[in-house]
């Protein structure tokens, strides 16, 4: 299962595109990391993939089928889930109610809903212990785990993760990235944008760097890890 972005130009107005002819390929069982300075277009690229923005030019292909023109609510049916930047839990709803939002597509199939909940509680026993608690009462790390757990409820094959460690204490960042490693081992196709460069580089298989909305560098992780400080100096 692969995600291919081919010569994509996109933005929020016709006069000033954010992305210019961007190319990227993310493959199954691999973590693809997108790096770049603030304003480089990293989150914009994920939004273009997920249908929040329609590319002005170019093609986005997932599992051999075009995604261009589809809306965000079509994407789960295509096997793609998106972790938004910032919090996306419903704080006044319980943990279980938040998880049930993640299986809305299965609402008519009681058996599959029960199986999905049982599986997510097996993977995240700390969420089972808090299942009747309001999501807003969870720590920041627990809320992020809830969001990641909700992504997996319908068994997508591709995950887009926008700033998965934002606002978390270091030990909670480690927990989030440990879970991403487990998802990688389960052969998900994973695309990450994160300002935590060192953690994202550690887990990466392949890295793309965007600068001013264009491809700047790309290559396997082993080429980037020793040059991380040099790359950041180039941005500054």
Plot region of 7 (φ>0 → left; ψ -120 to 50 → alpha; else → beta): left
Domain edges within the chain: 2-92+156-235
Residue 108: its pLDDT value, please?
Answer: 64
What's the whole-number mean pLDDT along residues 166-182? Answer: 88
Tens of pLDDT, residue by residue over 26-78, are 999 999 999 998 889 999 999 999 999 999 999 999 999 999 999 998 998 89
Neighbour tally for 5: CB within 10 Å: 24
CA distances for 172 relative to 127, 130, 132, 166, 226, angstroms:
15, 17, 22, 10, 25
Predicted TM-score (pTM) of this structure: 0.91
Angle between helices 140-151 and 110-123 (to 10 degrees): 140
Tens of pLDDT, residue by residue over 121-143, are 998 898 999 999 999 999 888 89
Q: What topology is assigned to 2-92+156-235 in CATH?
A: Rossmann fold (3.40.50)
- Higher pLDDT: 4 or 1? It is 4
Tens of pLDDT, residue by residue over 183-213, are 999 999 999 999 888 899 999 999 999 999 9
Which string of DSSP letters, residue by residue, matches 27-62? Answer: ETT-EEEEE--TTSSHHHHHHHHTTSS--SEEEEEE
Q: How many CA atoms lie within 13 A of 98 on its CB side?
A: 33
Reduce the secondary structure of 100-166 to three states and give it as a string: HHCCHHHCCCHHHHHHHHHHHHHHCHHHHHCCCCEHHHCCHHHHHHHHHHHHCCCCCCEEEEECCCC
What's the whole-number mean pLDDT along residues 82-90? Answer: 86
């Amino acid at each position: 299962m692969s995600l291919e972005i081919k010569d994509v130009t996109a933005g929020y107005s016709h006069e000033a595109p954010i992305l210019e002819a961007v190319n990227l390929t993310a493959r199954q069982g691999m973590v693809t990391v997108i790096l770049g300075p603030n304003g480089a277009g990293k989150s914009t690229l994920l939004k273009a993939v997920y249908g929040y923005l329609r590319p002005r030019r170019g093609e986005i292909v997932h599992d051999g089928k075009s995604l261009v023109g589809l809306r965000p609510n079509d994407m789960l049916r295509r096997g793609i889930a998106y972790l938004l930047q910032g919090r996306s839990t419903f704080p006044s709803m319980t943990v279980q109610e938040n998880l049930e939002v993640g299986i809305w597509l299965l609402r008519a199939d009681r058996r599959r809903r029960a199986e999905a909940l049982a599986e997510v509680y097996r993977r995240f026993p700390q969420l089972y212990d808090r299942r009747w608690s309001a999501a807003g009462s969870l720590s920041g790390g627990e809320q992020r785990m809830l969001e990641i757990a909700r992504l997996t409820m319908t068994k997508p094959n591709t995950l887009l993760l926008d700033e998965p460690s934002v606002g978390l204490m270091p030990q909670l960042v480690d927990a989030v990235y440990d879970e991403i490693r487990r998802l990688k081992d389960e052969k998900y196709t994973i695309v990450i944008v994160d300002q935590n460069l060192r953690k994202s580089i550690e887990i990466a298989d392949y890295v793309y760097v965007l600068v001013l909305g264009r491809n700047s560098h790309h290559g396997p992780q082993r080429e980037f890890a020793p040059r991380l400080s040099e790359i950041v100096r180039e941005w500054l």
